[in-house]
Amino acid sequence: MIPVNIVIEDDLSKEMVKKILDQSSSHFFIQNIFPDLKRETSSSGCSYIKKRITGFNNAAKVIPYIVLTDLDENECAPALIREWLPNGKHPNLLFRVAVKEVEAWVMADRSSFAKFLGIEPKIIPQDIDRQVPDPKKFLLELTRRSRKKDIQTDLLPRKGSTARVGPFYNQTLISFLYKYWQLEEAIKYSDSLNRMCRSLRNFNPEINSHSSIPD
C-alpha cells in the first residue's frame, strides 16, 4: 500500500475520494487530508487549493498527492490545471476536476440516487457532466420532487433561510455515499468521474520514505 495525501474542498469531496479509493481497489491509503476541515472551515474550498497548489506540487516530490476540486464556472479541466500550475505538474501529483461539482458524481449512480430520493431514474440525465450545468441546484430540484419528507428537510434550505442548502446537506449525501453509492454504476454517466478512475489506475508515483506538509 502506498501512502498519499489528499486535498479536497469540503467534507463531501473528502468522502467521495475515500469512496473512490475504496471501491476502485486502489493500492493507496490516505496519510493526511488537507485542509483540516475541523480547523479550517473558513479557508476551505477551491480558493484554499488554488492558493496552495504550488506547495502541494512541490511536496509531491516526497509523498504522492491526490487533489480534487470542482470545475464550477471555469472553462474546462485542462485549462484550470494549466492556470493553477503554469510551470507544470509533478508526476506524483494526481490533479482531477469534478465537472462541474462533486454533486454530479453523487448523482451519477442514477438508479441508487433515484431510489434514495424516491424518484424515477429517468429524471436524472445520462450525461451528467454535459447536461447538468449546476449540479447542486439540480440536486435540490430533484429533492423537491422526492416523496421522502425527511430527506427534503435535511437537504433543502429552511423557509426564509438565506442558506443555499439544508442543515444536514453534507451529512445526508455522505450517508448516501456510504450506504448505497456504487462507483461502477456512476462512471457510466460521468465522464469526469470515469477519467478520475482511469487516472487513479495509471497513477504510479515514486515512493519516498518521508512525508512533507506544505505551509
Tell me the DSSP string of 105-165.
HHHTSHHHHHHHHTS-GGGS-S-HHHH-S-HHHHHHHHHHT-S-HHHHHHHSPPTT---SS
pLDDT at 71: 94
Confidence of residue 119 (pLDDT cuts 50, 70, 90): very high
pLDDT at 208 over 70: no
Confidence of residue 44 (pLDDT cuts 50, 70, 90): low
pLDDT at 212: 46
Q: Are 88 and 6 part of one and the same domain?
A: yes
Q: What's the predicted TM-score (pTM) here?
A: 0.92
In the predicted model, what is the mean pLDDT of residues 39-44? 59
Percent of the chain with pLDDT over 70: 94
Structural domain that includes position 156: 107-182
In the predicted model, what is the mean pLDDT of residues 165-180? 97
- Nearest CA-CA partner of 143 in 109, 174, 177, 107: 107
The answer to whether 6 and 21 are in contact (CB under 8 A) is: no
What are the distances in angstroms from CA 208 to CA 2, 53, 64, 94? 10, 20, 9, 16
Flag whether 187 is in a domain. Answer: no
Q: Are 86 and 136 part of one and the same domain?
A: no
pLDDT digits (tens, 9 = 90+) for 120-167: 999 999 999 999 999 999 999 999 999 999 999 999 999 988 999 999
Q: Are 72 and 118 part of one and the same domain?
A: no
Q: Are 40 and 99 part of one and the same domain?
A: yes
Q: Are 62 and 120 part of one and the same domain?
A: no
Is the pLDDT higher at 40 or at 7? 7
Looking at residue 92, which CATH number applies to its domain?
A: 3.40.50.2300
Flag whether 206 is in a domain. Answer: no
Flag whether 8 is in a domain. Answer: yes
Flag whether 130 is in a domain. Answer: yes
Flag whether 212 is in a domain. Answer: no
Average pLDDT, the chain: 93
Flag whether 60 is in a domain. Answer: yes
pLDDT at 206: 85
Confidence of residue 40 (pLDDT cuts 50, 70, 90): low
Q: Are 27 and 95 part of one and the same domain?
A: yes
Q: Are 34 and 53 part of one and the same domain?
A: yes
pLDDT at 45: 87
Q: Are 66 and 144 part of one and the same domain?
A: no
In the chain, the number of structural domains is 2
Q: Are 26 and 119 part of one and the same domain?
A: no
Q: Are 112 and 35 part of one and the same domain?
A: no
Flag whether 214 is in a domain. Answer: no
Q: Are 148 and 134 part of one and the same domain?
A: yes
Q: Are 89 and 140 part of one and the same domain?
A: no
Range scoring the smallest mean pLDDT among 44-53, 76-85, 105-114, 204-213: 204-213
